[in-house]
Amino acid sequence: MRKSNFYIISLKRNILPITFLIFTLLLVVFSKTNLSSAKDGLLLWATAVVPSLLPFFIATELLSYTNIINFIGKVLNKFMRPIFNVPGEGAFAFIIGMISGYPVGAKIVTKLRQDRYMYKI
């Protein structure tokens, strides 16, 4: 009875490496299909994702060097503090993040943290 429990525990411990091994073997077996799919994915990234996000990355980087973050922070501090418990400068990240989407909003929050406009709660 004890011996069968050992095999179950051993199988549970090794299920992730076995799964990775199976996926690796499938990648090698179907390499032609995977290569064309990777090429299509990179082409889609280069023609759709980069052109749509690059202007937002450039615009937010340029805006962060102006005084607009401080201006927005002063104007919207009374709304941002009670609602989100962040300083008013967080409104800049909120507005740009809503306009341009996740990666740009996350980048702005990181930049605001690095420039000490925001702090960890």
For residue 1, pLDDT beyond 90: no
Note the pLDDT tens digit of each residue in 41-94: 999 999 998 998 888 889 888 988 888 989 999 999 999 999 998 899 999 989
Q: What is the mean pLDDT of the chain?
A: 86
For residue 111, pLDDT beyond 60: yes
Confidence of residue 3 (pLDDT cuts 50, 70, 90): low
Q: What residues have CB less than 8 Å from 27, skipping those under 6 apart?
A: 34
Domain spans, the chain: 2-114
Distance of alpha carbon 92 from alpha carbon 115, whole angstroms: 14
118 close to 105: Cβ distance less than 8 angstroms: no
pLDDT of residue 99: 87
Confidence of residue 6 (pLDDT cuts 50, 70, 90): low
How does 80-117 read in b/e, with b if 16+ C-beta sit within 10 Å? beeeeebbbbbbbbbebbeebeeebbebbbebbeeeeb
pLDDT of residue 119: 77
Which one is predicted more confidently, 83 or 100?
A: 83
State pTM to two decimals: 0.57
